[in-house]
Amino acid sequence: MPVTKERALSPLFIKTAPVGFHCDGGGLYLSVRPLKAGDGVARSWIFRYRRHGRLRDLGLGPLSTVTLAAARERARQARQKLLDGVDPIEELIAARTAAAVSAARKMTFEQCAESYIEANRSGWKSVKHADQWKSTLLTYAYRVIGSLPVDVIETVHVMKIIEPIWKTKTETANRVRGRIEKVLDCAKALKLRSGENPARWTGHLDQLLPRRSQVAPVEHHEALRYAELAQFMVELRQLDSISARALEFTILTAARTSDTIGAPPSEIDLDQRLWTVPAGRLKGKKGARKRDHVVPLCDRALEIIGNLSIEGRRYVFASDEGAPLSDMAMLECLRGLRPGLTVHGFRSTFKD
Average pLDDT, rounded, for the chain: 87
Instruction: Please tell me the predicted confidence (pLDDT) of residue 129.
Output: 81
The residue among 275, 241, 238 whose CA lies nearest residue 260 is 275
The top-level CATH class assigned to 226-351 is: mainly alpha
Position 1 confidence tier, pLDDT thresholds 50, 70, 90 = low
How many Cβ atoms from other residues are within 10 Å of residue 160's Cβ?
13
**Max avg pLDDT among 23-32, 99-108, 302-311, 316-325:** 23-32
Where do the structural domains in the chain lie, given as residue ranges? 11-101, 109-215, 226-351
Q: Identify the band that residue 319 occupies on the pLDDT scale cut at 50, 70 and 90.
A: confident
pLDDT tens readout for residues 52-73: 889 999 999 999 999 999 999 9
Indicate whether 235 pLDDT > 70: yes
| pLDDT band at 310; cut points 50, 70, 90 | confident
Q: Under a CB-based contact definition with an 8 Å cutoff, are residues 20 and 32 in contact?
A: yes
Q: Looking at the domain that runs over 11-101, which CATH code has it been given?
A: 3.30.160.390
351 backbone dihedrals φ, ψ, rounded to 5°:
-60, -40
The string of pLDDT tens digits covering residues 148-196 is: 999 899 999 999 999 999 988 888 999 999 999 999 999 999 888 889 9
Across residues 216-231, what is the average pLDDT? 73
Average pLDDT over every residue of 250-263:
89
CATH 1.10.150.130 is the classification of domain 109-215: yes
Distance CA 85, CA 95 (A): 17
223 pLDDT above the threshold of 80 = no
Residues 6+ apart with CB under 8 A from 105: 149, 151, 192, 193
pTM: 0.45
pLDDT digits (tens, 9 = 90+) for 92-150: 998 888 777 766 667 899 999 999 999 888 877 667 788 889 999 999 999 999 999 99
